[in-house]
Amino acid sequence: MAELIDGKALAKEVRAEVKTRADAFRATHNRSPGLHVVLVGDDPASQIYVRNKERAAAKAGIEGRVHRLPAETSEADLLALIFELNGDDDIDGILVQLPLPDHLHDQTIVDAIDPAKDVDGLHPFNSGLLVVGRKGLRPCTPSGCMRMLEHVGCDPKGQRALVLGRSTLVGKPIALMLLEKHATVTIAHSRTEDLAERVRESDIVVAAVGRANLVQGDWIRDGAVVIDVGINRVDDGTLTGDVDFEGAKDRAAYITPVPGGVGPMTIAMLLSNTVDAAEARIM
């Protein structure tokens, strides 16, 4: 029977660490670390995410501010705001809530953020630092997954790790982070054949696809560590992951639940990145 990796409890621990560091930063520099979030349009899910970030920042001793812009904001106006935030010395982190409305290109906007303030870790400069194994701001969800592995004493060194999904946001960066920790990494995607076999031979399985119960419980190797990043809303309105939790929990050594697993870690790592950015900028 697997032990649960409690994302809520671990995220609380991370947020407490952030608060201690943010308070120390304020005591030394006479200001709190600053996080500015840009929200364009009125997508309901994005509004909830942004509100959660705003609240979490305030609780962690971070000076948060949200710039709410109308859906029809032009690219020029949005870029002008980003440049203004880039140039403000009291702002350490800038996050543009994605996806943007259709007439705006996510990547063009992300590319305009000063990489030193890119607390989402999505700027190509920071992706490059991750590829070459150098320190930099790293994407929050993959960082949260790594923190969960560390928390349960799972050292990826020499382990066979399978990442399902190859997105820039989750799949690719988590694969690079596992590689950095000396795992033997396989990346599966929509064209992968024999997915069940790839899962069966893996000591660590990270699922980041977005398909409810894609990974069947009996595919999981005995004693594997399973990190389920997927968030899927099913017919009865509840949330579920990419892994058949009920089947997998009898075989895995550790498993993350959905909800209450990776989700809460993402905001905690965003706050941690903000303090990292603040400390790095004044050095």
Among residues 79 and 195, whose Cβ is nearest to ligand NAP? Answer: 195
CB of 282 to ligand NAP, least distance (A): 29
CB of 167 to ligand NAP, least distance (A): 3
Measured CA to CA, the distance from residue 27 to residue 19 in angstroms comes to: 12
> Which helix or strand (DSSP H or E) is residue 40 part of?
strand 34-40
CB of 215 to ligand NAP, least distance (A): 9
Helix 140-151 and helix 262-282, axial crossing angle in degrees, nearest 10: 110
Residue ranges binding ligand NAP (CB under 6 A): 141, 164-167, 169-171, 188-192, 195, 208-211, 214, 229-232, 262-263, 266
CB of 132 to ligand NAP, least distance (A): 22
Q: For residues 166 and 187, is the Cβ–Cβ distance under 8 A? A: yes
Catalytic residue among 92, 97, 117, 228: 97
97 assigned to active site: yes
Among residues 73 and 217, whose Cβ is nearest to ligand NAP? Answer: 217
Question: Please, is 252 exposed, middle or buried when counting C-beta atoms within 10 Å of its C-beta (0-12, 13-18, 19+)?
Answer: buried
Catalytic residue among 92, 117, 118, 120: 120
Among residues 182 and 189, whose Cβ is nearest to ligand NAP? Answer: 189
Among residues 70 and 99, whose Cβ is nearest to ligand NAP? Answer: 99
Q: For residues 184 and 158, is the Cβ–Cβ distance under 8 A? A: yes
Question: Please, is 85 exposed, middle or buried when counting C-beta atoms within 10 Å of its C-beta (0-12, 13-18, 19+)?
Answer: buried
What DSSP designation does 99 have? Answer: S
Q: Catalytic site residues?
A: 53, 97, 120
